[in-house]
Amino acid sequence: VATLGILGGGQLAQMLALAALPLGVRVVVLEPDPHAPARVCAEHIQAPYTDAAGLERLAQCDAVTLEFENVPLAALAQLEGRVPVRPAGSLLNFSKHRAREKEALHAAGAGTASFVVIETEADLPGALERIGGRGVLKTAELGYDGKGQVRIGAQAELSVAWGELGRVPCVLEGWVDFVREVSLGVARTVGGGLAFGGLTENVHRDGILRRSLYLPNDPAEVQARALARQVAEGWNLEGLLTLEFFELPGGELLVNEVAPRVHNSGHLTQDGGGVSQFEAQVRAALGWPLPDFTPKLPCAMVNILGWPADQEPDWQGILKLEGARLHLYGKAHKPGRKLGHVNLVAQDEAALRARLGELEALIP
């Protein structure tokens, strides 16, 4: 029996723990939130990420991984050298900071949106012209689900937006006129073996992922895998990470951002007939042999967000829909919050698209 420590106890930790169970792996999570979704299926140390006793418990595990990139680097520094931490703090150091991340992506040979770092008032004049006159101002750290970012179309908006974001270090990114967004998970084990997930096509609304779709043999998959390999090897990855891409009209992929962990777009691997991204991260973190974690069948995922009063999902309809599998995280309801998802599997693309239409009508 192996024991895996996880920094963070949200729904990703919950699903990692569920995937770990049949492998004989016990999970311990360090998470300050008393209502952490992972507490129902893992040992929960309810304490800050930097808590000495909590970190001591994680150091007793066979390996430590994370489900959340905003953990203090000091916590990882206390673990490293005592227990394998995968991904390592050196990788988290840039994946948690949008400017350092883009620089590290360029160093690995991957393209990104153009960007300017905004740290002081003096960085504002001329910044918008330098990235093409239109863009998005994002806090360098702590943003997720589109929080901590403002779209900018004019120089006057830039100063106002920077004030609204708290005058903290930011990155002003050039606007990307993408044709679609795709993402890909890659895992790399100790010694360098690589494994990939399937390329998913993702639809966002208001900066939040709504739906992901996996179809075999996506034309962008070869390019995405090559970029994922460059990043995984260039960053000396041990563990799993997910790349989010913008696909340009000519087919070229730019990296939007990197999550040093399993990703919402990869949830469909739970029901797509192959190994799930969660099992892949558990195995990669422990340094075990890695399976390909591409789905075997066409599949999709639709997020369930906290609903306005009169728009509750039709639960009975979802449970009755052929090929649909409901996953709820046990979180308290709050409008807009990610509370669960539904995976949908079918034998072919036509059947999947037809049922996806039905499913989306059940989740307003």
* 72 touches ligand ATP by CB under 6 A: no
| Residue 232 contacts which entry, ligand ATP, Mg ion, none (Cβ below 5-8 A, type-dependent) | none
Q: x/- contact string, 80-119, with ligand ATP (CB under 6 A)?
A: ---------------------------------x------
From the list 214, 199, 215, 209, the residue with the least C-alpha distance to 302 is 209
Q: Does 223 bind ligand ATP (CB under 6 A)?
A: no
Query: Please, how many CA atoms are within 13 Å of residue 103, restricted to the half-sphere of its CB?
Result: 12
Closest distance of CB 348 from ligand ATP, Å? 28
The count of residues interacting with Mg ion (CB under 5 A) is: 2
145 is in an annotated binding site: yes
Nearer to ligand ATP, 164 or 349 (CB): 164
Name beta bridge partners: 43: 28
CB-based contact 307:108 (threshold 8 Å):
no
Lay out the site mask for ligand ATP across 15-34 (x = CB under 6 A, - = otherwise): --------------------
Q: Is 181 in the site for ligand ATP (CB under 6 A)?
A: yes
185 makes contact with ligand ATP (CB under 6 A) = no
Q: Which does 176 bind (CB under 5 to 8 A by kind): ligand ATP, Mg ion, none?
A: ligand ATP
Cβ 278 vs Cβ 18: under 8 Å: yes
Q: For residue 324, which phi and psi values (nearest 5 degrees)? A: -95, 135
Question: What distance in Å separates the CA atoms of residue 248 and residue 226, rounded to the nearest whole number?
Answer: 17
Token readout for 41 is 């299926």
Residues pairing with 30 in the sheet: 7, 45
Is 334 annotated as belonging to a binding site?
Answer: no
Q: Any idea how long the chain is?
A: 364
Residue selected from 32, 72, 111, 146 as contacting ligand ATP according to rule CB under 6 A: 146
Q: Could you say whether residue 141 binds ligand ATP (CB under 6 A)?
A: no
Report whether 29 contacts 43 (CB < 8 A): yes
Q: Which of 176, 227, 301, 344 binds ligand ATP (CB under 6 A)?
A: 176
* Calpha distance 259→49 (Å, rounded): 19
Choose the binding region for ligand ATP from 40-48, 138-146, 152-160, 288-296 (rule: CB under 6 A): 138-146
Going by C-alpha positions, the residue among 53, 126, 123, 94 that lies closest to residue 257 is 94
Beta bridge partners of 195: 187
Beta strands in the chain (DSSP E): 2-7, 25-30, 43-45, 63-66, 115-118, 135-139, 149-152, 170-174, 180-188, 194-196, 200-205, 208-214, 239-247, 253-259, 299-305, 324-328, 338-345
Residue 145, interface with ligand ATP (CB under 6 A)?
A: yes
CB of 5 to Mg ion, least distance (A): 23
- 83 versus 208: smaller Cβ distance to ligand ATP: 208
Give the binding site for Mg ion (CB under 5 A).
Answer: 244, 257
Can you say which residues are annotated as belonging to the binding site? 98, 138, 143-149, 173-176, 181, 204, 256-257
Give the binding site for ligand ATP (CB under 6 A).
Answer: 113, 136, 138, 143-147, 173, 175-176, 181, 204, 207, 244, 256-257
